[in-house]
Structures are given as structure tokens and as C-alpha cells.
């Protein structure tokens, strides 16, 4: 059966209001200054969908936005990258989540979220919105709407009944906290989980990537990729183990590197690449993302990723 999409990303969509160089000394009774203030679209599902579309995958997104200006901004950014927005839910009863982020000169940050981030939309109530793709990415497991075991199980069951390949990116909990044990019955429906090192440590309770991966594998997840930031990545399944150092780039901001990584891994597997090649490709996507400020800035095309891989091969 011909599917409408290669990939549908389900999950978080938001706008980041990023304030750099905030001066805490007021310039008037209620006025403050900062070096810059900018708006960027973000959220894992948005970052993943934009990256996958730029890599050439036929990509859709299922997320919930308000009918406000922030929602408009996300939709137009998605469309500019070639993401199909026909499945986006617009809901006048909720506002689009906006995160205000203060970034210090040393790169440390403080972020302020609001009640809108807590809103659980219900992808499981209309499974036709996500079951006509070859693969799904949950962006992210453990964050709304995937912090509710009933929603997670229903989405995974519908996806697998439709024969989709299921990727789950992860986040540390914010409003509601789940353990792997809470999801014991549905974890075997996940084909590939892609936590970063902190997330893998938190959910597995282990310290070494190989031990972390074993915990996820014991719960029945088929493939585990642990993203190790500037140290690259680690892959394990029942038959293979791969460790890759990071690509050599001048990193300036790793925000969204993980989302670009998982989009690259999924898109390349869907093109038919064997796992080791798709992993190398993903590793390069994460590195490219980290080479510029912003989650959706640096990665432009599949050719760009292939060129970085070629440079890495020659420099070895
Ligand atoms: N400094 C870096 N140099 C080269 N590659 C990097 C660097 N930082 C990240 N990467 C690549 O990007 C991948 C994902 O990065 P990271 O481990 O930071 O994921 P993450 O924490 O999930 O990111 P985010 O949640 O912000 O999207 C890494 O596995 C690596 O391949
Ligand atoms: Mg991440």
C-alpha cells in the first residue's frame, strides 16, 4: 500500500522567546535591557519534522496549536521547510506554548514555561491522523501528550497495527513523571528509543551506556540509541553494538541536535540504509545542527550531510 507520508512526528510544538545578555540592573522603575531578544519555533516534533523534510522525507506533523499568532508562526515555519501541516490541530481554547528563555554569556540558561505546556492533546482519539505513514516519531516520550500511559499505549498499538516503524525520542519529566515500569506492557511496541545520556541514566538507573541500553532492551524495545552530545552516540540491539565518536565540527549551540539526529536516523533508515550507515548519517545531522545557533538553522539538505561524512572519511 502506498502511504501518504514517510514519516509523521507527533508531539511538542512551541515558540521560544530567547533573551540573551540580560542586564538585571533596571534602567527605569520597571525597564530592563538585554543584548538581544528573538523568537524561534521549537519543540521536538517541530524540530524533527523540519529536519526530516529538509532531508527529503515526505513528512507530516501531528501537534496541537492555539489559534493565536504563535501557532501561525509555527505553521508557516513548518510549511517553509516542506512539512505537511494538514494534520495540525488548532484549538481556540488553548494558547500555543511559549517558553521564555534567558541565555547567559557562558551558555547556561534558565527557562520559564507556562500552563500551556501541560496541555495534553489526544492523538489516540483519531488514529487516522497518524497511521498512513511508514514511520512515526514520538517527540517526545515522557512529555505531554506522551506522559499518560493510556495515550502512549493507544498510539503505539494503532501505529503497530498499521505496520509503522516507531521511533521514540525522550525527555526528562516536567509535569508528570513516569517510569519504564509504568509502560512495561507497551514498550515492546517501540522499534527504536533515542534518549540522550542524562535521560538514559534517569530512566534506566545505570551509568554506562551499555548498561543503560540493556535495561531498555530488557523491556522489549528493539533498538536503543544513546546520544552522547560531543562524545557522539552509542547503539545497541540484540545482535549489534556500535559506538561512534562525534563528527568534528565547531559546535556553538547543541539545542535541537538530538531532534536533528533522530530525524536523520529515521529518514535514512526509510531510504533503505543499513543501521550502521543510518547511525553515521544521524551523527552528522546532530553535529551540523550544533554548528549554528538554533535547532532549525544549520541543517539544510541530505547532500550537505553526505559532504560532511565524506570530509570525515578523508580526514581519517
Ligand atoms: N558538540 C558536538 N559536536 C559534534 N556533534 C554533536 C555535538 N553535540 C551534539 N552532537 C551530535 O548530536 C547528537 C545529539 O546531541 P545531544 O546528545 O545533545 O542530544 P539531545 O540532548 O537530545 O539534544 P536536544 O534535546 O537539545 O535536541 C549527538 O549524539 C551527536 O551526534
Ligand atoms: Mg533531546
* CATH number of residue 69's parent domain: 3.40.1190.20
Structural domains of the chain, count: 1
Is 1's pLDDT higher than 70? no
pLDDT given at position 288:
97
Output the residue whose Cα is nearest ligand 1's atom 17: 229
Is 116's pLDDT higher than 80? no
Closest ligand relative to 47 C-alpha: 1
**Residue owning grid cell 547503539:** 235
Task: Give percent of the chain with pLDDT exceeding 70.
Answer: 99
pLDDT given at position 120:
78
Q: Which atom of ligand 1 is nearest to the CA of 198?
A: 21
Note the pLDDT tens digit of each residue in 5-26: 999 999 999 999 989 888 889 9
| Residue 122, φ and ψ in degrees, nearest 5 | -125, 80
List, as one string, the DSSP characters of the chain: ---SEEEEEEE--EEEEEEEEEE-S-SSSS--EEEEEEEEEE-HHHHHHHHHHHTT--EEEE-EE-SSHHHHHHHHHHHHTT-B-TT-EE-TTSPPPEEEEEE-TTS-EEEE--GGGG----GGG-GGGTSSEEEEEEEEETSTTTTSHHHHHHHHHHHHHTT-EEEEEE---SSS---TGGGTTTGGG-SEEE-BHHHHHHHH--SSHHHHHHHHHHTT-SEEEEE-GGG-EEEEESS-EEEEPPP----S--TTHHHHHHHHHHHHHHTT--HHHHHHHHHHHHHHHHTSSSTTSS---HHHHHHHHHHHHHH-
Mean pLDDT of 292-297: 87
Task: Give percent of the chain with pLDDT exceeding 90.
Answer: 84
Residue 254 C-beta-side C-alpha neighbours within 13 Å:
18
Asked, for residue 29, whether it belongs to a domain, the answer is no
5 upstream amide cis, omega within 30 of 0: no
Asked, for residue 27, whether it belongs to a domain, the answer is no
Output the residue whose Cα is nearest ligand 1's atom 9: 229
Output the residue whose Cα is nearest ligand 1's atom 7: 230
Q: Which atom of ligand 1 is nearest to the CA of 259?
A: 27
The pLDDT-based confidence of 254 (bands split at 50, 70, 90) is confident
Average pLDDT over the chain, rounded to an integer? 95
Asked, for residue 188, whether it belongs to a domain, the answer is yes
204 ligand 1 Cβ < 6 A: no
Asked, for residue 28, whether it belongs to a domain, the answer is no
pLDDT given at position 134:
98
pLDDT given at position 252:
85
Asked, for residue 17, whether it belongs to a domain, the answer is yes
Closest ligand relative to 196 C-alpha: 1
287 ligand 1 Cβ < 6 A: yes
Is 121's pLDDT higher than 80? yes
Is 107's pLDDT higher than 80? no
pLDDT given at position 113:
81
Closest by CA to 21, choosing from 33, 7, 30, 11, is 33
Asked, for residue 270, whether it belongs to a domain, the answer is yes
d(CA 30, CA 310): 54
Q: In terms of pLDDT, which residue wins out, 2 or 8?
A: 8
| Residue 132, φ and ψ in degrees, nearest 5 | -110, 30
Cβ–Cβ < 8 Å for 189, 181:
no
d(CA 146, CA 123): 10
pLDDT given at position 71:
96
Output the residue whose Cα is nearest ligand 1's atom 22: 258
Output the residue whose Cα is nearest ligand 1's atom 12: 286
pLDDT given at position 249:
93
Domain that holds residue 140: 5-22+35-315
Q: Measured in angstroms, how far is the CA atom of residue 177 from the centroid of ligand 2?
A: 17
Note the pLDDT tens digit of each residue in 122-177: 999 999 999 999 999 999 999 999 999 999 999 999 999 999 999 999 999 988 89
Asked, for residue 232, whether it belongs to a domain, the answer is yes
Asked, for residue 30, whether it belongs to a domain, the answer is no
Is 183's pLDDT higher than 80? yes
Taking the whole predicted model, whether its pTM rises above 0.75 is answered as yes
Amino acid at each position: 500500500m502506498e502511504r501518504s507520508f514517510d514519516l509523521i512526528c507527533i508531539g511538542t510544538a512551541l515558540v521560544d522567546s530567547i533573551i540573551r545578555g540580560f542586564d538585571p540592573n533596571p534602567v527605569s522603575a520597571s525597564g530592563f535591557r538585554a543584548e538581544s531578544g528573538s523568537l524561534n519555533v521549537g519543540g521536538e516534533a517541530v524540530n524533527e519534522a523540519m529536519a526530516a523534510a529538509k532531508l527529503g522525507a515526505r513528512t507530516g506533523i501531528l501537534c496541537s496549536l492555539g489559534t493565536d499568532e504563535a501557532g501561525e508562526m509555527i505553521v508557516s515555519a513548518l510549511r517553509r521547510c516542506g512539512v505537511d501541516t494538514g494534520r495540525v490541530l488548532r484549538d481556540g481554547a488553548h494558547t500555543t506554548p511559549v517558553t521564555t528563555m534567558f541565555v547567559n554569556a557562558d551558555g547556561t540558561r534558565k527557562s520559564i514555561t507556562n500552563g500551556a505546556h501541560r496541555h495534553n492533546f489526544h492523538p489516540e482519539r483519531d488514529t487516522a491522523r497518524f497511521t498512513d505513514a511508514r514511520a512515526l516519531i514520538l517527540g517526545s516520550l515522557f512529555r505531554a501528550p506522551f506522559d499518560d500511559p493510556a495515550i502512549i499505549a493507544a498510539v503505539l498499538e494503532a501505529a503497530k497495527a498499521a505496520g509503522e516503524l516507531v521511533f521514540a525520542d525522550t525527555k526528562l519529566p516536567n509535569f508528570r513523571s513516569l517510569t519504564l515500569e509504568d509502560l512495561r506492557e507497551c514498550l515492546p511496541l517501540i522499534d527504536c528509543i533515542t534518549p540522550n545520556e542524562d535521560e538514559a541514566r534517569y530512566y534506566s538507573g545505570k551509568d554506562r551506556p551499555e548498561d543503560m541500553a540493556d535495561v531498555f532492551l530488557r523491556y522489549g524495545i528493539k533498538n536503543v540509541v544513546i546520544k552522547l552530545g560531543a562524545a557522539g552516540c552509542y547503539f545497541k540491539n540484540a545482535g549489534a553494538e556500535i559506538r561512534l565518536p562525534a563528527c568534528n565540527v565547531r559546535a556553538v549551540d547543541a539545542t535541537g541536535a538530538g531532534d536533528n539526529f533522530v530525524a536523520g536516523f529515521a529518514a535514512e533508515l526509510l531510504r533503505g540504509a543499513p543501521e550502521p550507515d543510518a547511525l553515521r548519517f544521524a551523527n552528522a545531522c546532530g553535529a551540523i545542527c550544533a554548528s549554528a545557533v538554533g535547532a532549525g538553522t544549520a541543517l539544510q539538505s541530505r547532500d550537505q550531510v553526505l559532504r560532511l561524512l565524506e570530509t570525515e572519511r578523508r580526514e581519517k
